Amino acid sequence: MLNSYAQQNIDSSPRIVIVGGGAAGLELATRLGNGAGKARRAQIVLLDRYPTHFWKPLLHEVASGQIDASSHQIDFAAHAKWNHFRFEQGALAGIDRDRREIVIDETKDVDGRVLLPRRTLAFDTLVLALGSVTNFFSISGAADHALTLETVDQAETFRRRLVSSLLRASHARQATPGAASTPVSVTIIGAGATGVELASALRGSAQRVRDDHMASLDPATDIRIRLLEGAPRVLPALPERISARAQDVLAGLGVDVRLGCRVQSVGAETVATADGETLASDITIWAAGVEGPPVLRQLAGLPLNRLGQVIVDGTLQVENDSDIYAMGDCAACTASKGEALVPPRAQAAHQQAVYLADALMRRLDNRDVPHFSYRDQGTLISFGDAGAAGALMSELLRGPLFIEGWFAASCYRHLYRRHIIGLTGIRRAAMYGAIQWLRQRVRPTVKLN
């Protein structure tokens, strides 16, 4: 017998349950909370498996130790209170479409003790915003031996391994000065945005670790960074001009980029390529693609594409259920020019959250709901200390506007600021910014512990 929260729904207003408090879900909950929730037109409930929100595009900075994740996390429970919605912690385990309920797995604390039992939660409207997981493409050993960058915990695991390896390399140099050292080898599989940004940030981190903490470390030779890509160029999904710029920057940073390189298997300390080479790798990170979260395959009757994403129509409604919506990385939506799938990106998550907040308010008022249409506003890639590059798109411009240097770097920073302002408003965002700035000045330049 499951505990049920359905009976607690004594308020007769409709209940909108949003599952997943990431870039898409938290923005939607905030907008709906301040609209329908505040006006008591609907009860807004957000469910997430974690107690805090973290903006995923910053994960490579956590992995390279350049930021402390705790300074950038938003506490769901407090944020819910300030923005007129309710927060529930737990992982979605099932949907009972006949009873209009979701099943939430039991929630445990950090010591593994049960905080909340397995339970159900009734909904009138359900929005799935579960994000994506790493797609290992069935490559042998990849899931067991490669690290991934999906969550703060995973980024922290990578950082800890990196710092330990650098410490060992530094001590080895001190112990036997002048002796040839064995570099720490980091292999990044996939030269999309995540792989390129991580490779660039790592070289900068090694430099800072040497400057501020381990004088005996040689950042150029004590860490070997390899970036393996199956396509003929880095950033294969972006315009060639950005790829070429990234290629130059990576060469300047001494990153060993191997193009047209297919990975065949991943071992505990090796990566084997399809052309027969076995590369030694102390730390291997998989950044080569995403797919829908496995839980979606267990939810009976949801239409999924071959990547396990929920197929939605032009209003983000699930094809066979007008009370269930999906958005962000977990949704397969063809609402961009040329009918290509909307890409799994933060700007798509933001645009869908803005759209769905308006669409669900219209639905409450029985007003017509227009179709969602995705506008590609361009892409920016950060090279860490080496700046940024990208292309901005606008209806006023006939083609993409390529930018780089400080202007591109400040546009890149602006994306995160815009996300925080959208969630918290300008005043609170300014306070967060000030706190982050101050904390940055009283902590090591690379997080060591």
Ligand X SMILES: Cc1cc2nc3c(=O)[nH]c(=O)nc-3n(C[C@H](O)[C@H](O)[C@H](O)COP(=O)(O)OP(=O)(O)OC[C@H]3O[C@@H](n4cnc5c(N)ncnc54)[C@H](O)[C@@H]3O)c2cc1C
Which of 20/219 has CB closer to ligand X?
20
Binding mask 317-336 for ligand X (x = CB under 6 A): -----------xxx------
Binding mask 132-171 for ligand X (x = CB under 6 A): -----------------xx---------------------
Residue of minimal CB distance from ligand X? 22
- Least separation, in Å, of the C-beta of 175 and ligand X? 36
Q: Are strands 270-273 and 114-116 parallel, antiparallel or unpaired?
A: unpaired
Which of 21/204 has CB closer to ligand X?
21
| Cα distance between residue 256 and residue 63, in whole Å | 19
Which of 137/215 has CB closer to ligand X?
137
| Cα distance between residue 59 and residue 76, in whole Å | 19
Choices 17-25, 115-123, 184-192, 210-218 (CB under 6 A): range interacting with ligand X = 17-25
- Least separation, in Å, of the C-beta of 71 and ligand X? 17
Which of 58/184 has CB closer to ligand X?
58
| Cα distance between residue 195 and residue 289, in whole Å | 10
Residue in 17, 45, 59, 302 binding ligand X, rule: CB under 6 A: 59
Contact between 242 and ligand X per CB under 6 A: no
Choices 42-50, 218-226, 315-323, 387-395 (CB under 6 A): range interacting with ligand X = 42-50
- Least separation, in Å, of the C-beta of 297 and ligand X? 12
| Cα distance between residue 419 and residue 251, in whole Å | 32
Which of 50/402 has CB closer to ligand X?
50
Buried b (16+ CB within 10 A) or exposed e, 158-182: bbebbbebbbebbeebeeeeeeebe
- Least separation, in Å, of the C-beta of 107 and ligand X? 10
DSSP annotation of 12 reads -
Distance, CA of 379 to chain centre: 15
Contact between 423 and ligand X per CB under 6 A: no
| Cα distance between residue 346 and residue 22, in whole Å | 10
| Cα distance between residue 383 and residue 315, in whole Å | 36
| Cα distance between residue 287 and residue 308, in whole Å | 18
Longest dimension (CA), the chain: 77
Angle between helices 405-441 and 23-32 (to 10 degrees): 80
Contact between 118 and ligand X per CB under 6 A: no
Contact between 418 and ligand X per CB under 6 A: no
| Cα distance between residue 67 and residue 436, in whole Å | 9
- Least separation, in Å, of the C-beta of 219 and ligand X? 23
| Cα distance between residue 127 and residue 32, in whole Å | 12
Contact between 24 and ligand X per CB under 6 A: yes
Contact between 19 and ligand X per CB under 6 A: yes
Residue in 33, 131, 230, 308 binding ligand X, rule: CB under 6 A: 131
Contact between 222 and ligand X per CB under 6 A: no
Both tokens assigned to 288:
């080569």
- Least separation, in Å, of the C-beta of 425 and ligand X? 20
Contact between 20 and ligand X per CB under 6 A: yes
Which of 127/446 has CB closer to ligand X?
127
| Cα distance between residue 388 and residue 249, in whole Å | 10
- Least separation, in Å, of the C-beta of 149 and ligand X? 4
Both tokens assigned to 274:
């399809």
Instruction: Provide the terminal-to-terminal Cα distance of the chain, rounded to the nearest Å.
Output: 44
Using CB under 6 A as the binding criterion, the count of chain residues that bind ligand X stands at 34
Residue in 295, 302, 324, 342 binding ligand X, rule: CB under 6 A: 295
Place of tokens 């040689």: 218
- Least separation, in Å, of the C-beta of 24 and ligand X? 3
In sequence order, what DSSP letters do the residues of 283-332 get, joined into one string?
Answer: EEEE-S-EE--THHHHSTT--B-TTSPEEB-TTSEETTEEEEEE-GGGEE
**Which amino acid type is present at position 318?**
V
* Interface residues toward ligand X, by CB under 6 A: 19-25, 47-50, 56-57, 59-60, 91-92, 129-131, 149-150, 193-194, 293, 295, 328-330, 344-347, 349
